[in-house]
Structure 1
C-alpha cells in the first residue's frame, strides 16, 4: 500500500469512531471499568498493511480452531486514565490518559463457561506482544476464558508499527511522558476490570479472575503485587507467577509460582505458606519446545519469519511445562473459590555448594515435579543451555541412542508401563491433569515423545 502513515491513522480513527463502545462509564474513577471499543472487525486471513481496520486482524491471532470448540477470539481497545508508579511503589503520576488493546478467547455461549478467566500480562521480551501462557487444550477443555493484555510500551509501539490502521491510536506512555512502563500496572488492573464488568466478555460473567504472567511479565506482576496493590482496590482473586519472580509480601490474594529447571539457580528458596505455593519442574525449560512449535507458524505469518538459533547444545526441552501450569491454574482456582490450598511439591535437589543441581547418571535433574518425559526418559531433557541470544532459556533435548534405550527398557512394554506409572502418580499428587496424562500415553504409544 502506498498511503502515508498519517492517512492510515486518520482512517483508523474514523473507523473506530463508527464502532459502538460496549461500555461507556461516566468517568474513569478508581474502581470503575474503563471505556471499551469493540470487538474490532477483521480476522485471519487479512492484509495487515491495509488502510481499513476491517481488512486487518489481531496481531498473533491464534491458529487454533476455536470455532470447532465453541470458542471465539475477539479484540478490543480499552481506554481510561491510569496512575503511574515507579518500581519502588512511588506514585509518579495521576490520571494519565491511555488506550491499549486486549485479546479475548472465550466460550461463545454462557453454558460452556466455568466463570474463570485467566488474564495474562503479555510478555514483550522479544520486542512484541507474546501470549506466552496461552494453552488452548487446557483452557477449552476446562471451559475457562483467556484474556491477553498489552500493558507495556514496547509491545504497544510494535503493534502501532505493525498495523497503523488497527493500532495507531494506542498509547500507554501518556504521549511519551512515561516511557518506563509507569502506567503498566494500572493499565493491567483496569483491563481486569473490563473483564470483571463483562464489557470485553460478550456478557459472560466472570466469578474468578486470575492474573497470570510469564518471565518478564511475572517480574512486572511482582512489582504490582508487592508495591502497587497495597495502594489500590483489589481486582484479581489470585495470581500465577510462571517461570519468573514472585512476590515476597503476604497479601490476601493467593500466589502460585511455577518454575522450570532453568529458573531455579540456588538452593535458597522461600517456604510454602497458606498464601504461597511454589512448584519446580525437573527437566523443563524456561522456553521449551511446545511454545516454540506453537509460535513458529504465527511468526512466519505476522513477522515474516520465525527466529533461528545456534545454541551450544541441541535446544528446546520436550518436558511439557504447560501440563504443570494447567494443573496449577486449577489448584489456584480452587484455592480462591474454596480455600483449598494446592499440594506441596518436592524441590529440585542441589549439591552442597547450593548452586549446582544434582543429576543422575543420565544427566537428568533430581527432585522437583517429575513427569513421564523425564522419569521414563527417551532423551536427555534439561533446563540448561548456552550460546547466542536466548539460548540459555531453551534447555536441551538430546535423544538417547539405541543402546541406552535397550538398557533402560529391556523388555517389550517396559517403557509404556513406566510412562503410565509415573504419570498416574503425578495425577494422584495433583501435578498433572488426567487428560494430559492420557495425551502422554498416546504420544508414548505413537513414538512421538
Structure 2
C-alpha cells in the first residue's frame, strides 16, 4: 500500500521561490505561505571519512583520527558497519516561528552512519536522529545497539546544531575543523538546522557512489529525536515542514515535546515517567500516538552505562553525579522504543496505526498515583515495574542533570521474600507481565526473552 506520506512526496511541486534577500526582512511565511512547497536540495556528500579505529583525535592527519563517540560495540559481528560522511551545500535559515530569514546559506556538517553491511539484513528503514547537544556535545541519545541491530535498522546521527559542531571542531580540528552550521557566524541560533536535517534525509535516500548507505535500498526514513532534539523537531514539524518538500515518512518524538499541527506524516510521542508532569496531553488520533512509560527515566541506566566508556575515552572521564536519591532508573525505555519504531514503520508503510496505551494516573492534587512500594500507577508497565525487584521511578533531584535520571533503589531480601516467597513465583510474574505487553504491542519478543533470562539470575529467596 502506498502511504499518504509517500503520495504527498510524489505530488510535491518542484518550485523554487526566487528573489529572497539575504537578511531577516521577509514576512512571516506562516501568514504568507510559499506558493508551493520548496524542494529540499540533495547535499554534496564526501566520504566515508578516513580513520575509523580509535587513535588520536588531536592528530593533524585525519587518517589517524576517528569519529566522535565511535561505538565500542562489535558491529562487524552483527553484520554492521560504522562510517562518517561530510555533508555540504546551501541551506535556508528559519526562526522558531517558521519565518524564512535567508536562503542559500553555505554550510558543512557531518553525519555518522551505523548500518547493515548487506541488503539482505537491512529492514529498509532509516532512523535519522537529530543529535542532542544539551550536554555540550553531540549525543547518540537514541542509538540502542541491541534493539536497532537486531531489527536491521540503519541509524544515522545528524549534527545539525552549532553547539555540537563547535565541540567537534575543538575536539579534532583535523577531522572536523572545516565544519560550520552558522553561515560563517551569521546564524548562531541554529536557524540553518531545520534545512540541514532535511538535506541529511535527502542524502540517505540516495544509492550507490558516495551515498551514505552505499547500495542499500531505503523504503522509509523516520525522523527521531530525544529531549531538546524532540523540541527542535516540533518546531520543524509545526512551522517549517508546511513550507517544504516532505522528506521524512514519520516522526518519533522521544522524551520531549510533540507537534500540535495535524499533518500527513504520523507522529509518535513516547515519554518516560520523568517527562509526564500532568495528565494533560494531546489526544491520540489517526496521525498521532502518545505513550507514557511508568518507572522509566528521561535518561536512564542503559544509556548512561553504554556511554560511560566512550566519554572516558573521548573526554578523559565520564560525568559523575551526586543526586539526592540513587540515580538511573533501570526500567528499559529502549524496549518500548523498539516496539514504537516497528509500529511507526508499519503505520507509514501499511497504514496500520499503533495500539493506544493508558496514561499515568494522577491524584486530584496533581501528584502521581503511587502504590505502597512507591511505583507509579498507570502507563505502560514493563515487567521491571509490574514484577519489581527495586524501586524504579522517574523522579530525582540534586545537582546538574539529576532531575532527569530517575531513581533506582534495590529491595532487600526481606521485601523480595514478602513479594514473591519463591523464585518460581517471581519468574512467573515476569513472564506474565511480558506476555501481556507482547499481546498489547508494547514489547518485542527478543526483549521479553532477555527479561526472562535476567529474571532467572535474581535471588528472591527459596527455590
Whole-angstrom CA distance in 1 between matches of 2:81 and 2:173: 24
Shift of 1:204: 1.2
Whole-angstrom CA distance in 1 between matches of 2:321 and 2:443: 31
Whole-angstrom CA distance in 1 between matches of 2:417 and 2:282: 41
Poorly superposed stretches of 4+, deviation over 2 Å? 29-32
2:297 matched residue in structure 1: 285
1:363 is the counterpart of 2:367 = no
Written as runs of structure 1 = structure 2, the 5 A alignment for 1:144-159 is 144-159=153-168
2:322 matched residue in structure 1: 310
Which of 380, 383, 393 is 1:382 aligned to? 393
2:27 matched residue in structure 1: none
Whole-angstrom CA distance in 2 between matches of 1:133 and 1:262: 17
Q: 1:42 to 1:448 in 2, by over 3 A?
A: farther
1:45 matched residue in structure 2: 54
SS at match of 1:413: helix
Written as runs of structure 1 = structure 2, the 5 A alignment for 1:135-284 is 135-198=144-207, 199-284=211-296
Q: Show structure 1 runs of 5+ residues with no match.
A: 1-26
Whole-angstrom CA distance in 2 between matches of 1:97 and 1:337: 34
2:66 matched residue in structure 1: 57
1:106 is the counterpart of 2:115 = yes
Shift of 1:50: 0.6
Shift of 1:448: 9.2
SS at match of 2:456: helix
TM-score normalised by the chain length of structure 1: 0.92
Written as runs of structure 1 = structure 2, the 5 A alignment for 1:328-343 is 328-343=340-355
**Offset from partner CA, 1:90-122 (integer Å, 9 cap, x none):** 111111000000000011111111111100000
Whole-angstrom CA distance in 1 between matches of 2:161 and 2:239: 18
Q: Show structure 2 runs of 5+ residues with no match.
A: 1-15, 17-37
TM-score normalised by the chain length of structure 2: 0.90
1:9 matched residue in structure 2: none
Whole-angstrom CA distance in 2 between matches of 1:70 and 1:89: 41
Shift of 1:32: 3.0
Shift of 1:325: 0.4
Shift of 1:404: 1.0
2:131 matched residue in structure 1: 122
SS at match of 1:422: helix
SS at match of 1:407: helix
Whole-angstrom CA distance in 1 between matches of 2:451 and 2:391: 17
Moved more, 400-409 or 278-287: 400-409
C-alpha RMSD over aligned residues: 1.2
Shift of 1:141: 1.4
